[in-house]
Amino acid sequence: MHEDLIIAGFGGQGVMSMGQMLAYAGLTEGKNVLWMPAYGPETRGGFANCTVIVSDMEIGSPIVSHPRSIIVMNLPSLDRFEDSVKPGGTLVVNTTLASRKVRRKDIDVILVPATEVATELGDLRAANMVALGAFLECKPMISFKAVKKTLQKVFANKKSVIPLNEKALERGAEIAREQRKARSAV
């Protein structure tokens, strides 16, 4: 097993913490993991992205130009990363903030109105968990169980937000499941 993922959005959408959560969860499952932020002269609200690698092998290069999966949380990230997904890979799009059509035909595309769903659930900050839930439904690189366990750890001092985040994960997974079912029925 060797999976690599880039998560991209704007600063404040929780893309860094989403990646760290995956890495933590991978660690609890005994995998080799790596999390790397794209760093540079960043501005508030500007580009934010990170790379997560989960593997059974020793992890070599931390720099991945064509990852198997990409989650984009806004339109500039979709524009920037659509072409980078490895053929046959997975692209999760937060359609609330990236409403244009995806051009690629050689990848698995999951469209999730993550920000909208999170707002409905009560807090738009949980949009990252909606997207993560959708992603993990398609690419079970880490079990939901491990991610939920990690939520308990991350929010140990803020237990009140755990149910919302769990709900967001589940709703994301549900949307992805329905979408795949509908597509295979066509």
Partner 1 sequence: MSNKVLMKGNEAIGEAAITAGCRHFFGYPITPQSELPAYLSKHMPKVGGVFLQAESEVAAINMVYGAAAAGARVLTSSSSPGISLKQEGISYLASSELPAVICNVMRAGPGLGTIQPAQADYFQAVKGGGHGDYHNIVLAPESVQEIIDHVRLGFDLSDKYLNPAMILLDGALGQMMEPVDFGDYKPELQEKPWAATGCKGRKMNAITSIHIDPRDMEAHNIKLQEKYSKIRESEQKCEEWMLEDAEIMVVAYGLCARICKSAIRVCREKGIKVGLFRLISLWPFPEKKLDKAIDKVKEVFVVELSAGQMIEDVKLVDNGRKPITFHGRMGGMTPSVEDISDRIELIHDRITQKVG
Of 91, 102, 164, nearest to 130 by C-alpha is 164
C-alpha R_g of the chain:
15
Q: Is 83 in the site for partner 1 (CB under 8 A)?
A: no
Tell me whether residue 51 or residue 94 sits nearer to partner 1 (CB atom).
Answer: 51
CB of 180 to partner 1, least distance (A): 30
Q: Is 58 in the site for partner 1 (CB under 8 A)?
A: yes
Other beta carbons within 10 angstroms of residue 32's beta carbon come to: 15
Two tokens, residue 26: 């991978």
CB of 19 to partner 1, least distance (A): 9
Tell me whether residue 26 or residue 113 sits nearer to partner 1 (CB atom).
Answer: 26
Choose one: 63-71, 77-85, 155-163, 165-173; the region binding partner 1 (CB under 8 A). 63-71
Residue 109: what are its φ and ψ, rounded to 5°? -110, 130
For the chain, how many residues are written? 186
With H, G, I as helix, E, B as strand and everything else as coil, classify residue 8.
strand
CB of 132 to partner 1, least distance (A): 17
User: Rounded CA gap, 183 and 102, in Å?
Assistant: 16
Contact pattern for partner 1 over residues 11 through 40, marking x by CB under 8 A: ---------x--xx--xx-x-xxxxxx-xx
CB of 42 to partner 1, least distance (A): 10
With H, G, I as helix, E, B as strand and everything else as coil, classify residue 167.
helix
CB of 57 to partner 1, least distance (A): 8
User: Rounded CA gap, 54 and 135, in Å?
Assistant: 14
Residues that bind partner 1 (CB under 8 A): 20, 23-24, 27-28, 30, 32-37, 39-41, 58-66
